[in-house]
Amino acid sequence: MKGRGERTMMKSKTLEQVENQFETFQILNEEGEVVNEAAMPNLSDEQLQELMRRMVYTRIWDQRAISLNRQGRLGFYAPVAGQEASMLGSHFALEKQDWILPGYRDIPQIVFHGVTLEQAFLWSRGHFKGGQMPDGVNVLMPQIIIGAQIIQAAGVALGLKRKNTNTVAITYTGDGGASQGDFYEGINFAGAFAAPAIFVVQNNRFAISTPVEKQSAAKTIAQKAVAAGIHGVQVDGMDVLAVYAATLEARERGLRGDGPTLIETLTYRYGPHTMAGDDPTRYRTSDLDDEWEKKDPLVRFRKFLEKKSLWSEAQENEVVEQAKEDIKVAIKKADGAPKQKVTDLIGFMYETLPQNLQEQMEEYKAKESK
Amino acid sequence: MAQMTMIQAITDAMRVELKRDENILLFGEDVGKNGGVFRATEGLQAEFGEDRVFDTPLAESGIGGLAIGLGLTGFRPIMEVQFFGFVFEVFDSIAAQMARMRYRSGGKYHSPVTIRSPFGGGVKTPELHADSLEGLMAQTPGVKVVIPATPYDAKGLLISAIRDNDPVVFLEHMKLYRSFRGEVPEGEYTIELGKADVKREGKDISIITYGAMVHSSLKAAEELAKEGIEAEVIDLRTISPIDIDTILASVEKTNRAIVVQEAQIQAGIAANVVAEITERAILSLEAPVLRVAAPDTVFPFASAEDVWLPGYKEIVEKAKKVINF
């Protein structure tokens, strides 16, 4: 069967020339071999191990979260297995003071930036403590409105620039999100203000059931950067070193005053869209799943590290056990969170309560004290 | 004290605040060098520089996102939406994002944003410039909505709005921008948000209103006075939250009330005022509380404004209906 594009469109030279500017950037192939030595990032052995540790940890966390969700011990959850390199490789290039504006799937990034697992679980359950970000941890709550984080990131980045903080703002959306108006507005604003923002589009090929081909006739999402007049790059999102290197470069570009960067990571989610009843077998073939499982970011990075004698089964098992233990502790802590009261919710609305809420506060205080 | 138009009072409020706090930023479409399409920001970029007062690309949603992001990094944004009919483009940023910032972060973050925007009929603007959409905002938990009717109120309320640490939608009626001058003190002063103002005292009926309808109501009150009916005119000034105490004190005195708005009857906030009075003061009422509002159609084509917009005659008529109930 021919693709939609092939059937209806003859490619113009201009279009081909544009597309050729956005070849996939890769450092490690599926066998864990370095295919682009020149682009190899300067990471110490310990840093390489830490990257692997985080990816394994996240894979286990994802498995446990799915299981806890099925037991009814977690609420809203968007699986991340397959996207570890894209999420954690990009996060690893950040500094502590950088700002993260995550989408709803981007919990691993904010957890490794300083949000606790317990809070991540409370956010999943729908508890206000899940949004109370710890002091000094510059992250926003996961954004549910797809695209809103992009325009807000432009604002945060401009703020950071104006305050001379030498930091950047990074934000994430998916392939479907790149069709939103706020996506274009956000990258365009950041470009017009030369703001130090990094826009990461994690292209996992599906927005719920809609394949990326139905989002746009554009061959890459990275080329959408052209519309904003900013730098764009397409990266193998299953290659943690390539994602890291691309993000680091984007960060430096932002700090130099050369404006924002759009990074498209080609990745895949092995699980469903969310745990709220989505069934990927309705829209995905097992062939496609198999093809992407061969690209598993953990497999290739494990091979790479093993060849350098930086990783062993024992080390991996240690991470697995640590993750399981942390999750057990975190979910227990989350269970101990106080039950939410209406008076709590009223209290978070304004700095000073207006008259209607003052009245309602009294009303609910009386109810709650019964 | 200086005599100022409402728009001069608005410019003055922003100048006072820009001078007071260097974290205040003012931005929007054509607010910089051009001084705004109504000259509301005239001279401010020249005085405070391009880093404080600046133009943005033409995208309301992006402007809202910019305000949220700048707010998170320690700035106090005053963003302008060129005409409030364009609010639909930035509805998510206002109603779903900044309005919820404090709540969804459990008090960790907030959005100290002032959204300035002109609206209002009577000046024959093209489509979607004059629509009264304050009702949409008043239904949004997390934002306050302020609508001044005089130069004095505009300055004091805008300074309060800018200093408020939660988002405030500040709607400026285009017909009131330059239609008259009023006394405006120099320097800073504030008017508490959420407080109504009795613009005319009376004992026979309460006319509760806001925006351009304050002036139509005052004119109606003069007409009614000729017939021996003394109307009390209450200018809400803040339409969310509304000042229930002032409304009740008046209604309990006059025992009769009408609510007057420029918006369509199914829109605006008149229904809310009626509901509050009914819940809290029904035993004081000698007659039902009636509303003066526009017909439930789309805002009129420019040359139909005269027959569509509510005016003082409708107010007089409705007030008499309540008096003679």
Q: How far is A247 from chain B (nearest CA, A)?
A: 21
Q: Which two tokens stand for residue A48?
A: 């390489």
| pLDDT tens for each residue of B64-91 | 999 999 999 999 999 999 999 999 999 9
Concerning whether B110 is annotated as a catalytic residue, the answer is: no
- Cβ atoms of A267 and A26 within 8 Å: the answer is no
Q: Is the pLDDT of residue A4 over 90?
A: no
| Among B68, B96, B141, beta carbon nearest to A349 | B141
Strands B76-80 and B24-28, sheet pairing: parallel
d(CA B157, CA B238): 9
Query: Hey, which bits of A29-186 come out as E strands?
Result: 99-101, 169-174
Q: Is the pLDDT of residue A2 over 90?
A: no
Rounded mean pLDDT of A259-270?
Answer: 97
| pLDDT tens for each residue of A122-170 | 999 999 999 999 999 999 999 999 999 999 999 999 999 999 999 999 9
| pLDDT tens for each residue of A330-364 | 999 999 999 999 999 999 999 999 999 999 999 99
Q: Does B96 touch chain A (CB under 8 A)?
A: yes
On the 0-12 / 13-18 / 19+ scale of CB atoms within 10 A, B51 is exposed
Q: Does B2 touch chain A (CB under 8 A)?
A: no
Q: Which of residues 98 through 127 in chain B touch A, CB cutoff 8 A?
A: 102-110
Average pLDDT, chain B: 98
Query: Which one, of B290, B266, B36, B312, lies nearest residue B136 by Cα?
Result: B266
Q: Does A128 touch chain B (CB under 8 A)?
A: yes
Contacts of B243 in chain A (CB under 8 A): 355
Q: Is the pLDDT of residue B150 over 60?
A: yes
Angle between helices A45-70 and A117-125 (to 10 degrees): 30
The active-site residue out of B110, B129, B173, B215 is B129
Least confident of A152-161, A275-284, B115-124, B311-320: A275-284
Q: Is the pLDDT of residue B294 over 60?
A: yes
Q: Is the pLDDT of residue B323 over 60?
A: yes
| Among B62, B105, B141, beta carbon nearest to A151 | B62
Mention every residue, 6+ apart, whose C-beta is less than 8 A from residue A230: A187, A190, A191, A259, A260, A261, A262
Q: Kindly provide the b/e burial profile for residues A42-77, where b requires at least 16 CB atoms within 10 angstroms of the residue's own CB.
A: ebeeeebbebbbbbbbbbbbbbbbbebbeeeebbeb
> Tokens 């549910």, residue?
A144
Sheet containing strand B290-294, edge to edge, reads B197-200, B231-235, B205-209, B257-264, B290-294
- Cβ atoms of A196 and A157 within 8 Å: the answer is yes
The 3-state DSSP class for residue B199 equals strand
Q: Is the pLDDT of residue A5 over 80?
A: no
What per-residue confidence (pLDDT) applies to A11? Answer: 81
Give this complex's ipTM. 0.97
DSSP string for residues in A114-154: T--HHHHHHHHHT-GGGG-PPTT--BPPPB-STTHHHHHHH
Q: Is the pLDDT of residue A220 over 90?
A: yes
Query: Which one, of B191, B206, B189, lies nearest residue B149 by Cα?
Result: B191
Q: Is the pLDDT of residue A6 over 60?
A: no
d(CA B102, CA A131): 10
Chain B residue nearest residue A344, CA to CA: B106
On the 0-12 / 13-18 / 19+ scale of CB atoms within 10 A, B230 is middle
Q: Does A196 touch chain B (CB under 8 A)?
A: no
- Cβ atoms of B293 and B270 within 8 Å: the answer is yes
Angle between helices B6-20 and B151-163 (to 10 degrees): 30
Q: Kindly provide the b/e burial profile for residues A90-121, where b requires at least 16 CB atoms within 10 angstroms of the residue's own CB.
A: bbbbbeeebbbbbbbbbbbbbbbbbbbbbbbb
Query: Which one, of B293, B213, B208, lies nearest residue B245 by Cα?
Result: B208
Rounded mean pLDDT of B147-163?
Answer: 98
Q: Is the pLDDT of residue B238 over 80?
A: yes
Contacts of A165 in chain B (CB under 8 A): 73
Contacts of B59 in chain A (CB under 8 A): 185, 188-189
Mention every residue, 6+ apart, whose C-beta is less than 8 A from residue A206: A175, A212, A269, A273, A280, A283, A284
| Among A129, A132, A154, beta carbon nearest to B69 | A154
The 3-state DSSP class for residue B60 equals helix
On the 0-12 / 13-18 / 19+ scale of CB atoms within 10 A, A226 is middle
What per-residue confidence (pLDDT) applies to A9? Answer: 65
Indicate the helix (H) or strand (E) that contains A235: strand A231-236
Contacts of B71 in chain A (CB under 8 A): 155
d(CA A249, CA A255): 10
- Cβ atoms of B118 and B147 within 8 Å: the answer is no
Rounded mean pLDDT of A67-80?
Answer: 96
Contacts of B97 in chain A (CB under 8 A): 145, 148, 152
Rounded mean pLDDT of B163-185?
Answer: 98
> Tokens 């728009």, residue?
B7
Query: Which one, of A198, A148, A150, lies nearest residue A170 by Cα?
Result: A198
d(CA B284, CA A327): 61
What per-residue confidence (pLDDT) applies to A79? Answer: 96
pTM: 0.97
Q: Which of residues 339 through 358 in chain A touch B, CB cutoff 8 A?
A: 345, 347-351, 354-357
Indicate the helix (H) or strand (E) that contains A49: helix A45-70
Paired strand residues for A266:
A203, A236
- Cβ atoms of A247 and A264 within 8 Å: the answer is no
Concerning whether A172 is annotated as a catalytic residue, the answer is: no
d(CA A265, CA B201): 67
d(CA B26, CA B23): 10
Q: How far is A190 from chain B (nearest CA, A)?
A: 9
pLDDT bucket at A1, cuts 50 / 70 / 90: very low
What per-residue confidence (pLDDT) applies to B62? Answer: 98
Q: Is the pLDDT of residue A311 over 90?
A: yes
Query: Hey, CA dihedral for B91, B92, B98, B101, is it positive or negative?
Result: positive
pLDDT bucket at B1, cuts 50 / 70 / 90: confident
What per-residue confidence (pLDDT) applies to A8? Answer: 56
Task: Determine, for residues B102 and A355 on separate chains, whether the beta-carbon distance falls below 8 Å.
Answer: no
pLDDT bucket at A10, cuts 50 / 70 / 90: confident
Contacts of B194 in chain A (CB under 8 A): 354-355
Q: Does B298 touch chain A (CB under 8 A)?
A: no
Q: Is the pLDDT of residue B210 over 60?
A: yes
